[in-house]
Every structure is written in structure tokens, then in C-alpha cells.
């Protein structure tokens, strides 16, 4: 039975390690991180350990001066490991990651977010690919798929439209696809 998620109903997800689903949503309704956090909260209610992959970024405002500027220090702080361990995690990523966090574009920042989320040994990994180029998106899906035997992956995609042709769905990484549906009061 679907559950309410803000203005949407979260479809039922059959969580099984090694499996995955592409969750399709109309982008005008949610900011990326709030939607990922709401999906995670719903899954945590059912007792799942959920890792939410958010792109690496420094804090804003005055906290910017207190947050780490090096990529390995960011990852170290994010997952609670020493800098040497963070460097090892970064070296295992299939893309080039720059030493300063600000020097990294969307692809490395998303990979860092997935790497950080995977350090929690989640039952469920929720991730998206906003801000990434097409080659980076494919590499991210390959990276997640290569590790997916240990968790259930939920890929959240905002770029789909129900009226799209089937060809538009070819870029989605997982054959199981579910729509995040608007609730009755939001269908107008």
C-alpha cells in the first residue's frame, strides 16, 4: 500500500539486497535532498538502515570557513574515519577526484556522496545524479551496480515525464521503475 510522502504517495518497495528500482518523479515538486531524506525516513520506519547519497559540498555562510576544504578531510568528517582511510576510499573511486572540494564538479561530488553513504553499510542506498554529465551518470550507475549485492538501490530520477516515449527510459539504470504519484488533492 502506498504511503504519503509530502504531496506524493511513495509506492511500495520490495526491498531485497542485490535489487534496485528507479523511482521517477516530476521535478517541479521537490528539491533533491528533501525528497531523498523523506524517502529515507519512510524506509527507516520499517527498520531499514538507509544510506542517502548527497553530493559533497562545504557548508554555506560563516560555517564555510570552519568546514574542511580538502576532499579527504570532508570525507573523513562525513563518515568518521581518519584521513588516510578517506584517501583510500577516494582512490578506489572510478573517476578522478581533485584534492580541494571546490575544484570538483558534479560527477566527483556525487561519487563522493555515494562513497560516504556506502560507508554506513546500508540495507538501502538512495541516490540521484543531478548535476552530472551523461558519461558520469553511466559511470555512477556502474559503480553502484558493482556493489549492489550488499544493499537495495533506489535511484531517484527527476528527468522523466509520463508522456515520454519509451526511448527516454533507455537511460534509466534499472528495469523496475515506479512513479512517485501526486496525492488526490495535488492532481489538479
pLDDT tens across the length of the chain (188 residues): 344 455 667 788 888 898 888 888 765 555 566 788 888 998 999 899 999 999 888 665 565 556 557 888 888 888 999 989 999 998 999 988 888 877 878 888 999 999 999 999 999 999 998 888 888 988 999 999 998 888 999 998 876 555 553 434 445 566 677 767 666 555 54
| CB-based contacts of 72-77 (< 8 A; 24+ apart in sequence) | 72/99, 74/101, 74/112, 75/112, 75/115, 75/116
Helix (H) or strand (E) holding 134: helix 134-147
- Domain segments of the chain as ranges: 3-186
Q: Give every CB contact of residue 87 below 8 A, 6+ residues apart in sequence.
A: 72
CATH of 3-186 among 3.30.70.2080, 3.40.50.300, 3.30.450.40, 3.40.50.12500: 3.40.50.300
pTM of the predicted model, to two decimals?
0.81
Task: Characterize 40-55 residue by residue with b for buried, 16 or more Cβ atoms within 10 angstroms of its Cβ, and e for exposed.
Answer: bebbeeeebebbbbbb
Amino acid at each position: 500500500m502506498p504511503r504519503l510522502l509530502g504531496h506524493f504517495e511513495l509506492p511500495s518497495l520490495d526491498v531485497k539486497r542485490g535489487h534496485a528500482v528507479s523511482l521517477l518523479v516530476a521535478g517541479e515538486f521537490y528539491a533533491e535532498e528533501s525528497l531523498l531524506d523523506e524517502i529515507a525516513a519512510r524506509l527507516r520506519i520499517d527498520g531499514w538502515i538507509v544510506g542517502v547519497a548527497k553530493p559533497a559540498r562545504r557548508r554555506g555562510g560563516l560555517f564555510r570557513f570552519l568546514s574542511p576544504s580538502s576532499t579527504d578531510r570532508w570525507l573523513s568528517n562525513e563518515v568518521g574515519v581518519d584521513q588516510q582511510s578517506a584517501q583510500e576510499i577516494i582512490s578506489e573511486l572510478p573517476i578522478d577526484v581533485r584534492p580541494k572540494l571546490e575544484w570538483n564538479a558534479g560527477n566527483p561530488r556525487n561519487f563522493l556522496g555515494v562513497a560516504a553513504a556506502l560507508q554506513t553499510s546500508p540495507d538501502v542506498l538512495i541516490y540521484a545524479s543531478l548535476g552530472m554529465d551523461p558519461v558520469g551518470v553511466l559511470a555512477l550507475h556502474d559503480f553502484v551496480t558493482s556493489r549492489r549485492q550488499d544493499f537495495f538501490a533506489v535511484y531517484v530520477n527527476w528527468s522523466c515525464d509520463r508522456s515520454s516515449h519509451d526511448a527516454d527510459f533507455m537511460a534509466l539504470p534499472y528495469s523496475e521503475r515506479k512513479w512517485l504519484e501526486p496525492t488526490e488533492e495535488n492532481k489538479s
